[in-house]
Amino acid sequence: MKTALDCIPCFLRQTLEAVRVVSPDPAVHEKILREVLRWTAEMNLNESPPAVAQRIHRRIRELTGVTDPYRAAKDHWNQTALRLLPDLEAMVKDAADPLAMAVRLAIAGNIIDLGVNGSVTEADLHRAIRQALDEPFTGELEAFRTAVARAGNILYLADNAGEIVFDRLLIQQLAPARITVAVRGAPILNDATRDDARAAGLDQLFPIIDNGSDAPGMILKECSAEFRQRFDSADLIVAKGQGNFETLNDEPRDIFFLFKAKCSVVARHVGVPVGTQVIQRTRGGQ
Amino acid sequence: MKTALDCIPCFLRQTLEAVRVVSPDPAVHEKILREVLRWTAEMNLNESPPAVAQRIHRRIRELTGVTDPYRAAKDHWNQTALRLLPDLEAMVKDAADPLAMAVRLAIAGNIIDLGVNGSVTEADLHRAIRQALDEPFTGELEAFRTAVARAGNILYLADNAGEIVFDRLLIQQLAPARITVAVRGAPILNDATRDDARAAGLDQLFPIIDNGSDAPGMILKECSAEFRQRFDSADLIVAKGQGNFETLNDEPRDIFFLFKAKCSVVARHVGVPVGTQVIQRTRGGQ
């Protein structure tokens, strides 16, 4: 997905939110904001939004010396989600269609996205869970069910810390023995890394790999050779979150994207209202 | 008021909203957005937000050749407010404290600000009117009442089209014989000009002057000599809206500002939550 003009005000808001997480110094805030204004003035709009976010967050880390600014937020959300896990497991177990319930909850967990909204609260998460239960869900669920049953090996691309606890529920309903979970190779925003996979207990249940990259999405040409090989050889890719959608939706592969459409640009691209729970297959696969 | 870093993402959002009102051409949208990114990257943050908005909207008019992009929106809001006028007049007439009610309604009308929110709806206006009736109102109303009673001549600085119908109600409760109403000297956003004062029937009730400027606020050094003279000789200034607040709040004059705090920067400056109805006297006057 290319960058829309509407992404640019959002990059700038995100820049301010992110730099304030790591530095109390207004001079640092102003310096990075002016830099991002200069970059975006000349930017190539064919770049995906996560490529721009990657550059912004690299520069913030470089300027402030803080290598993992969202570590505390990630710990908070992992713990919050783990506290909810027994209730979520019961919801899946008691559901008439456990897979459908697990899909809905995994999408609800995608609300924990500090790139789109730096001030997400637990109330927002509970609202997303209620929405997951109450709203009609019209995505390609049956195609997803069939594709999962047919696939020999599945690569599950995780998105954010906290959210991966919700993913754990879904993966257990899919085909746990045939699934590998991929996380980011280095800290970026509140995206899940190997540390979060461990904190959420996923490493005890499934093979974990990382993509070797610090982009908040999957910029394949920057990912490690090992990840690329796993990506290319997977029968089916399941990708969580807007960042993975924005970087992979034009790939000629069979990919199911599961996310909440949290911003107007992505919602318009998919053709749904903002806030919609989306399960969408790429045009690449059949 | 200076420009906060948080104003900058908002300028860019406003740029896109405004240019889309007047041109369907994405190349024009991109051109002006890139220009504004370059300006704001190097901007002097001592400038007030309306000074930046003025520059953006001048450039949009220049690039598109459309001299009054918000004319249709202004007509719509004038007509909408005029339809409500009989009900609003009855609310003031029936109130235990008609002046307090008229102040509340005048502030409610300030929701019609297409700079802060380009997609304001009639539902938003009705919500603001209900808020005006229901919410406790703790501003400097008694000081305002006393200052109005004492002032020999009052200059009332209007803000937006549509909103000036609400102002008409308030001015009639104040001291209509001692009040002059000032509007913008040229089209800018949906700010009221002489055309809107006529459309709202204010020109039949009160003397109208314009400030000779196309800023969405009062940048005094750019206003006409005639306006400056009236401003300097007024016993009391009443100023509606955020734009007038942002440009005049540091003036050493006795000014009452009436507005809804619609953005986080202004709300923080005043020390209230976003959405609060504000009646605030400047530090300059006592």
| CATH number of the domain located at residue range(s) A71-281 in this protein | 3.40.50.10880
pLDDT of residue B177: 86
Asked if pLDDT for residue B285 goes beyond 60, the answer is no
> Do the chains contact at B33 and A8, CB–CB below 8 Å?
yes
State the CB neighbour count (10 A cutoff) for residue B214: 19
Site from A3, A12, A42 to mutate, B interface, most B CB atoms within 10 angstroms: A12
Nearest residue of A to residue B12, measured between CA atoms:
A9
Distance (Å) from the C-alpha of residue A34 to the closest C-alpha of chain B?
A: 5
Nearest residue of B to residue A42, measured between CA atoms:
B34
Task: Kindly state the average pLDDT of the residues B102-122.
Answer: 89
Chain B neighbors of A42, CB-CB under 8 A: 34
Nearest residue of A to residue B14, measured between CA atoms:
A9
Q: pLDDT of B228-260, one tens digit each?
A: 999 999 999 999 999 999 999 999 998 999 999
Q: What are the CA-CA distances from residue A180 to residues A77, A82, A216, B75 (Å)?
A: 22, 21, 19, 60
Q: Is B177 on the interface with A (CB under 8 A)?
A: no
> Do the chains contact at B34 and A42, CB–CB below 8 Å?
yes
Distance (Å) from the C-alpha of residue A116 to the closest C-alpha of chain B?
A: 14
Q: Is B25 on the interface with A (CB under 8 A)?
A: no
Cβ-Cβ contacts under 8 Å for B200 (sequence gap 6 or more): B78, B81, B82, B161, B164, B165, B168, B192
d(CA B197, CA B1): 27
Q: Name the band, by pLDDT with cuts 50, 70 and 90, for residue B283.
A: low
Asked if pLDDT for residue A231 goes beyond 90, the answer is yes
Q: pLDDT of B148-179, one tens digit each?
A: 999 999 999 999 999 999 999 999 999 788 99
What are the tokens at B108? 């409610």
- Sign (positive or negative) of CA dihedral A165, A167, A172, A175: negative
Q: Name the band, by pLDDT with cuts 50, 70 and 90, for residue A82.
A: very high
Q: Is A16 on the interface with B (CB under 8 A)?
A: yes
ipTM: 0.88
Q: pLDDT of A235-245, one tens digit each?
A: 999 999 999 99
pLDDT of residue A222: 96
Segments making up each domain of chain B, as ranges? 7-64, 71-281
Asked if pLDDT for residue A286 goes beyond 90, the answer is no
pTM for the model stands at 0.89
Distance (Å) from the C-alpha of residue B194 to the closest C-alpha of chain A?
A: 33
Distance (Å) from the C-alpha of residue A36 to the closest C-alpha of chain B?
A: 8
Residues 37 through 56 of chain A touching chain B, CB cutoff 8 Å? 37-38, 40-42, 45
Distance (Å) from the C-alpha of residue B110 to the closest C-alpha of chain A?
A: 25
d(CA B9, CA B2): 15
> Do the chains contact at B12 and A16, CB–CB below 8 Å?
no
Site from A2, A3, A5 to mutate, B interface, most B CB atoms within 10 angstroms: A5
- Look up residue B91 and give its amino acid: M
Q: pLDDT of A264-282, one tens digit each?
A: 999 999 999 999 999 999 8
Q: pLDDT of B39-91, one tens digit each?
A: 999 999 999 999 999 999 999 999 889 999 899 999 999 999 999 999 999 99
Nearest residue of A to residue B13, measured between CA atoms:
A9
- Fold classification of B7-64 is Helicase, Ruva Protein; domain 3 (1.10.8)
Asked if pLDDT for residue B4 goes beyond 60, the answer is yes
Nearest residue of B to residue A36, measured between CA atoms:
B41
- How many Cα atoms occupy the beta-carbon half-sphere of A44 within 13 Å? 4
Q: pLDDT of A149-198, one tens digit each?
A: 999 999 999 999 999 999 999 999 997 889 999 999 999 999 999 999 99
Asked if pLDDT for residue B137 goes beyond 80, the answer is no
Given strand B255-260, what is the order of strands in its sheet?
B208-210, B179-183, B154-157, B236-240, B255-260, B277-281
Nearest residue of B to residue A45, measured between CA atoms:
B30
pLDDT of residue A138: 65
Asked if pLDDT for residue B286 goes beyond 50, the answer is no
pLDDT of residue A285: 44
Phi, psi of B109 (to 5 degrees): -60, -20
- Sign (positive or negative) of CA dihedral B51, B57, B63, B65: negative
Task: Kindly state the average pLDDT of the residues A218-229.
Answer: 97
Chain B neighbors of A29, CB-CB under 8 A: 5
What are the tokens at B73? 């929106």
Site from B6, B10, B12, B16 to mutate, A interface, most A CB atoms within 10 angstroms: B12
Q: Is A9 on the interface with B (CB under 8 A)?
A: yes
Nearest residue of A to residue B17, measured between CA atoms:
A6
Task: Kindly state the average pLDDT of the residues A133-146.
Answer: 85
First vs last C-alpha separation in chain B: 20
pLDDT of residue B216: 96
Q: Name the band, by pLDDT with cuts 50, 70 and 90, for residue B134.
A: confident
